Amino acid sequence: MRLSDFEGRWTLSRRIEDRLAGTEAQFAGEAVLRPVPEGLSYREEGLLRLAGGPALTAARNYLWREAGGRIVVDHGDGRPFHAFDPADPVARHWCDPDDYRVRYDFGNWPVWHAEWVVTGPRKDYTMRSDYRPAA
């Protein structure tokens, strides 16, 4: 798996299970990874439906790049986020006092998943994102 394999448009669905609140949220939208000099610009946008509330427009930006055989994911503003080896796609991000752990699954490529488990004093949730090539 190489960085260029992710280039393009992806249909994105996400489920967020908040164990502290006992609620679930859903996100439906699209992720686009476009080439930039540094790697791939990642932009996702869609509708987030929180339990009991109206749908909200939500968006995120990241920069995906290659370094040392790993795929490095930085926040859109350049702050480091995490990096993973495509052959063993797990990573961790510590954002004191919260622990973010992700496992990517590329076993059914080009359909792929990212599952984050986030814990901390005020956080305890699992977020699963499912990606499919956009039609």
Q: Which residue has the tokens 């370094």?
A: 67
| Number of independent structural domains in the chain | 1
Question: What are the b/e assignments for 21-56, b being 16+ CB within 10 Å?
Answer: eeeebebebebbbeeeeebbbbebebebbbeeeeee
Q: The domain spanning residue 61 has which CATH number?
A: 2.40.128.20
Give pLDDT tens digits for 91-119.
999 999 999 999 999 999 999 999 999 99
Residue 18 CB contacts under 8 Å (≥ 6 apart), including other chains: 24, 25, 124, 125
* Residue 133 pLDDT exceeds 90: yes
Number of H helices and E strands in the chain, helices first, is 0, 10
The whole-model pTM stands at 0.93
Q: Is 68 left (phi over 0), alpha (psi -120 to 50) or beta?
A: left
Domain of 18 in residue numbering reads as 3-133
Give pLDDT tens digits for 70-91.
999 999 999 999 999 999 999 9
